[in-house]
């Protein structure tokens, strides 16, 4: 049974129980593929993957769905028939939606929504699929081994490189609340579109993207025209950031002439590659080799793909065939991540001190017995 809680206790006490684990979608997919090969039934892999997801860990339910799909497709299992049978959408449009969001391409985003509408989907189910993808991305960014058995791993890894962990958490919360409130919208599509618009509009309060979007970050622009002063700085990081100019072929690269925290911003890396670089310290850099030291506490961030991405970014920036060498150990120097954290803490403390020393706030406390609720003070501009 899949519902042991429905069995009376008097019966359960006389039973020997075996708790079976739910099957992974990949296992269900491979079993379906084996069965269809023996039965000589044609099937499309994307269709089987969709059925494997819909089985929700149950081989029995998966085979029932497979039987229905064979009948529905007149002896074949293809993606269009399975999509129509399940009343849902394929995984690819969900990935395309997330890509459009990350690219901030509103035109492309609503073009995809129009195409989805032709399938008359359950928009609540679409939001559910987006939540599942965001959940996998968050897991991959923290512990890649947790999703190593997922057959969407390549897609998840690619998306994880394009989005910061802070953005993943914000997006997940927006979609979760949007899914809850979907029934309150005038119609499902308009409610879904408003969720997508929120994802386009809102960003984390302290985001790497804010630093990247600062005019001083654009190295090429600073050579041509003087950047305009921003109307309001989002953080102290933007006000004090000095991005190093790319070093010419004639000028040698040395660790004395390069500030690693500034270089991390200048080479324009994103996602887990940037997270990794922020937790390293620069030990040495020359025209041919860049040596970084990673604290052993962040060893889980290192992967061949991240190392390749960082090496390529350094080579593109300096226009030199620089080889990247990663060492691990107990890092005592200040990493960019520690520096950013300290700056945010200082901003927060300054904001708290400003409120506590404000005369108007002091008057409110004295006259109305008011109090400042802990955790509600934020630095201006965030």
For the segment 275-328, what is each residue's pLDDT rounded down to a tens digit?
888 888 888 888 888 999 888 888 888 888 888 889 999 888 888 888 899 888
For the segment 105-126, what is each residue's pLDDT rounded down to a tens digit?
888 888 888 888 877 778 888 8
By C-alpha distance, which of 199, 313, 231, 334 is closest to 266? Answer: 313
pLDDT for res 10: 92
185 contacts 196 by C-beta, under 8 angstroms: no
Most distant CA pair in the chain, distance: 85
Domains of the chain: 20-86 (1.10.8.60), 91-201 (1.20.272.10), 213-219+236-337 (3.30.300.150)
pLDDT for res 171: 92
Phi and psi of 202, rounded to 5°? -90, 145
DSSP string across 158-227: HHHHHS-HHHHHHHHHHHHHHHHHGGGSSSHHHHHHHHHHHHHH---SS-HHHHHHSGGG-HHHHHHSPP
Beta bridge partners of 327: 293
For the segment 128-183, what is each residue's pLDDT rounded down to a tens digit?
889 988 998 998 888 887 776 666 677 788 888 888 888 899 999 999 999 999 98
Q: How far apart are CA 302 and CA 306, in angstroms?
A: 7
Q: Does position 215 have pLDDT exceeding 50, yes or no? A: no
By C-alpha distance, which of 56, 84, 53, 57 is closest to 68? Answer: 84
* Strand-by-strand arrangement of the 289-295 sheet: 280-285, 289-295, 323-329
pLDDT for res 249: 45
85 contacts 119 by C-beta, under 8 angstroms: no
pLDDT for res 102: 85
For the segment 314-356, what is each residue's pLDDT rounded down to a tens digit?
888 888 888 899 888 887 788 888 888 888 888 888 888 888 8
What CA dihedral angle connects 338, 340, 346 and 350, to 10 degrees? -160
For the segment 62-91, what is each residue's pLDDT rounded down to a tens digit?
999 999 999 988 999 988 888 778 765 555
User: How many angstroms from the chain centroid is the CA of residue 96?
Assistant: 14
By C-alpha distance, which of 276, 218, 288, 277 is closest to 246? Answer: 218
DSSP string across 111-174: HHHHHHHTT---HHHHHHHHHHHHHHHHHHHH-GGGGTT-TTHHHHHHHHHHS-HHHHHHHHHH
pLDDT for res 122: 82
pTM: 0.47
């Amino acid at each position: 049974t899949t519902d042991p809680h429905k069995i009376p206790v008097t019966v359960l006490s006389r039973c020997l129980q075996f708790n079976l684990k739910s099957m992974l979608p990949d296992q269900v997919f491979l079993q379906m593929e084996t069965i269809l090969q023996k039965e000589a039934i044609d099937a499309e892999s994307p269709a089987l993957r969709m059925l494997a997801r819909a089985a929700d860990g149950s081989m029995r339910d998966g085979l029932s769905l497979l039987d229905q799909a064979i009948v529905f497709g007149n002896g074949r299992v293809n993606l269009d028939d399975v999509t129509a049978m399940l009343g849902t959408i394929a995984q690819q449009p969900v990935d395309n939606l997330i890509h459009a969001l990350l690219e901030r391409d509103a035109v492309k985003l609503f073009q995809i929504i129009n195409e989805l509408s032709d399938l008359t989907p359950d928009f609540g189910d679409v939001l559910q699929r987006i939540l599942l993808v965001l959940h996998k991305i968050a897991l991959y960014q923290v512990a890649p081994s947790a999703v190593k058995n997922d057959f969407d791993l390549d897609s998840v890894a690619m998306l994880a490189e394009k989005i910061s962990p802070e953005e993943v958490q914000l997006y997940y919360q927006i979609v979760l609340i949007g899914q809850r409130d979907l029934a309150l919208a005038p119609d499902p599509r308009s409610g879904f579109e408003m969720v997508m618009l929120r994802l386009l509009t809102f960003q984390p309060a302290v985001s790497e993207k804010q630093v990247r979007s600062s005019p001083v970050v654009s190295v090429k622009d600073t050579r041509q025209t003087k950047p305009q002063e921003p109307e309001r700085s989002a953080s102290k990081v933007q006000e004090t950031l000095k991005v190093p100019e790319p070093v010419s072929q004639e000028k040698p690269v040395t660790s004395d002439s390069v500030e690693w925290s500034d270089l991390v911003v200048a080479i324009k890396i994103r996602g887990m590659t940037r997270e990794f670089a922020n937790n390293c310290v620069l030990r040495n850099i020359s025209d041919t080799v860049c040596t970084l030291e990673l604290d052993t506490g962040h060893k889980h961030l290192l992967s061949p793909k991240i190392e390749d991405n960082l090496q390529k970014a350094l080579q593109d920036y300096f226009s030199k065939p620089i080889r990247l060498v990663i060492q691990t150990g107990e890092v005592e120097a200040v990493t960019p991540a520690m520096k950013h954290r300290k700056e945010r803490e200082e901003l927060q403390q300054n904001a708290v001190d400003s409120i506590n020393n404000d005369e108007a706030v002091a008057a409110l406390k004295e006259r109305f017995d008011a109090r400042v609720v802990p955790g509600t003070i934020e630095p201006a501009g965030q």
